[in-house]
Amino acid sequence: MSKAHDWKDEERQKIDVLEVWKQVQRTIANEKKEKIVTRNSRWKTIRIFVSSTFKDFHTERDVLVKEVFPDLRQWCQRRDLNLVECDLRWGVPQETPYCVTLEICLEEIRRCERENTWPYFLNMTSKRIGFIPLKDELPDELINKFDLVLGLSIAEMEIVEAAYRKGNPNSLFMYRDESFIESITDEKIRKEFVDELNPIANKKLKILKEKIEARFSVLEFFKKRIDEDYPLANNERMNKMDEDLNQHDAFMQSRANLVLGRQDTLKKIMTYLESDRQSQSMILVGDSGSGKSSIMAKLVYDLLDKIK
Q: Are residue 179 and residue 34 in the same domain, yes or no?
A: yes
The whole-number pLDDT of residue 3 equals 45
CA pair distance 24, 151, nearest whole angstrom: 10
| Structural domain count, the chain | 2
Q: Are residue 227 and residue 249 in the same domain, yes or no?
A: no
Q: For residue 286, give its domain range.
A: 240-307
Nearest Cα neighbor of 9 from 134, 106, 96 is: 134
Q: Is residue 1 pLDDT above 60, yes or no? A: no
Q: Is residue 195 pLDDT above 70, yes or no? A: yes
The whole-number pLDDT of residue 266 equals 80
CA pair distance 60, 57, nearest whole angstrom: 5
Q: Is residue 147 pLDDT above 60, yes or no? A: yes
Length of the chain, in residues: 308
* pLDDT, averaged across the chain: 78
Q: Is residue 2 pLDDT above 60, yes or no? A: no
Q: Are residue 271 and residue 168 in the same domain, yes or no?
A: no
Does residue 295 sit within a domain? yes
Does residue 107 sit within a domain? yes
Does residue 275 sit within a domain? yes
β-strand partners of 45: 82
The whole-number pLDDT of residue 215 equals 41
Does residue 3 sit within a domain? no
The whole-number pLDDT of residue 69 equals 92
Does residue 271 sit within a domain? yes
Q: Are residue 244 and residue 226 in the same domain, yes or no?
A: no
Q: What is the DSSP letter of 194?
A: B
The whole-number pLDDT of residue 158 equals 92
Q: What is the per-residue pLDDT across 161-174, written as a single tens digit (0 to 9) for each?
A: 988 888 788 888 88
Q: Are residue 55 and residue 180 in the same domain, yes or no?
A: yes
Which is higher by pLDDT, 11 or 156?
Answer: 156
Does residue 60 sit within a domain? yes
Q: Are residue 288 and residue 145 in the same domain, yes or no?
A: no
The conformational region for residue 300 under phi > 0 = left, psi -120 to 50 = alpha, else beta, is alpha
Q: Is residue 153 pLDDT above 80, yes or no? A: yes
Q: Are residue 224 and residue 277 in the same domain, yes or no?
A: no
Nearest Cα neighbor of 208 from 126, 284, 140 is: 126
Q: What is the per-residue pLDDT across 99-114, written as a single tens digit (0 to 9) for each?
A: 888 888 898 898 888 8
Q: Are residue 115 and residue 28 in the same domain, yes or no?
A: yes
The whole-number pLDDT of residue 236 equals 53
The whole-number pLDDT of residue 90 equals 57
Does residue 2 sit within a domain? no
pLDDT-wise least confident of 93-102, 137-146, 151-160 = 93-102
CA 93 from centre of chain: 16
- CA end-to-end distance (rounded Å), the chain: 41
The whole-number pLDDT of residue 39 equals 46
Q: What is the per-residue pLDDT across 35-88, written as a single tens digit (0 to 9) for each?
A: 544 445 467 888 899 999 888 888 898 899 899 999 999 999 888 888 888 877
